[in-house]
Amino acid sequence: MALILKDFLIRRKNDSLPVGSSGFFVRVPSVFLFMLSDGATIRGELKQGKEEKEITLIFEKGSCEDLLHICAEDWDDNFTEGRTDLKLKEAFQNEKSTLIYEKRDVVASPAQSCKISSKR
């Protein structure tokens, strides 16, 4: 199952980037991805406007918010800083693959803050 992030903000970061980062990232409340550690990669889909693309994100753990860095090889000029929807499906860490959520999709948006609601 997936973590679906609705209307999150893509920002640009120029300093202290993980290897392979495009410099663009999304902030996510730590409660959603607490099971991951720094450097884990996440496969998912990015949708902005009419553009949609499979992407890989690099996870950076924070204290209240985690950063999801969009990989350089997946970033292109069709996307810009601004609002986006992400569907995070699968995480890879310690050479193991796991679903983000095992039983159901979880939907979150900045308007909900840290409220978790299930998609049925």
Region of 17 on the Ramachandran plot (φ > 0 left; ψ -120 to 50 alpha; else beta)? beta
Domains by residue range for the chain, with CATH:
3-119 (2.40.30)
- Strands (E) in 1-120, as ranges, are 3-12, 21-29, 41-48, 51-60, 65-71, 82-93, 96-99, 105-108, 117-119
What is the pLDDT at residue 21? 92
pLDDT tens-place string over residues 78-99: 888 889 999 999 999 988 998 8
Q: Does position 58 have pLDDT exceeding 80, yes or no?
A: yes
* Residues 69/25, Cβ–Cβ less than 8 Å: yes
* Residues 10/79, Cβ–Cβ less than 8 Å: yes
pLDDT tens-place string over residues 13-57: 888 899 999 999 999 998 899 889 999 999 999 999 888 999 999
What is the pLDDT at residue 119? 57
